[in-house]
């Protein structure tokens, strides 16, 4: 039962926010639910595996998530899921832009003086 509750928590407010999905067709809902379920299973696998490499991955994903953990907990399934999403989006971003382009965007976003502005 605890696993089911954890799964629903990841699908709902602590993860994929299923209540706010805007899909209107059964096919679209099913497709999104399948992707969300795959992400939940991956999150569980990362959370439950205790080898050294996965422990490091959990720590990085939790840090990427920016979520504060409850006292005495190093990570939670919602923080792993959020960190995983950020990591995958970052990897996609790195495929799309060069390091120099990203540094230039960071300068602009952070308000540093820019010669061309």
Residue 79 forms part of a structural domain: yes
Domain total in the chain: 1
In whole angstroms, how far apart are CA 9 and each of 44, 72, 103? 12, 20, 37
116 domain residue, yes or no: no
Each residue's pLDDT tens digit, 32-79? 889 888 988 999 999 989 999 999 999 999 989 987 777 767 788 889
In a domain, 61, yes or no: yes
Confidence band for 114, pLDDT divided at 50, 70 and 90:
low
For residue 57, what are the domain limits?
2-110
Q: pLDDT digits over 78-104, tens only?
A: 899 999 999 999 999 999 999 999 999
Which residues, including other chains, have CB under 8 Å from residue 86's CB and lie 6 or more apart? 64, 65
Residue 103 and residue 101: Cα distance in Å, rounded?
Answer: 5
The reported pLDDT for the residue numbered 66 is 81
């Amino acid at each position: 039962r605890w696993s089911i509750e954890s799964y629903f928590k990841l699908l709902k407010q602590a993860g994929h926010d299923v209540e706010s999905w805007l899909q209107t067709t059964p096919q679209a809902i099913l497709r999104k639910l399948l992707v969300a379920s795959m992400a939940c299973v991956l999150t569980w696998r990362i959370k439950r595996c205790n080898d050294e490499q996965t422990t490091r991955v959990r720590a990085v994903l939790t840090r990427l998530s920016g979520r504060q953990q409850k006292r005495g907990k190093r990570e939670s399934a919602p923080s792993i899921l959020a960190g995983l999403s950020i990591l995958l989006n970052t990897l996609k971003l790195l495929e799309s832009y060069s390091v120099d382009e990203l540094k230039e965007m960071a300068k602009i976003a952070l308000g540093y003086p820019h010669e061309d502005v």
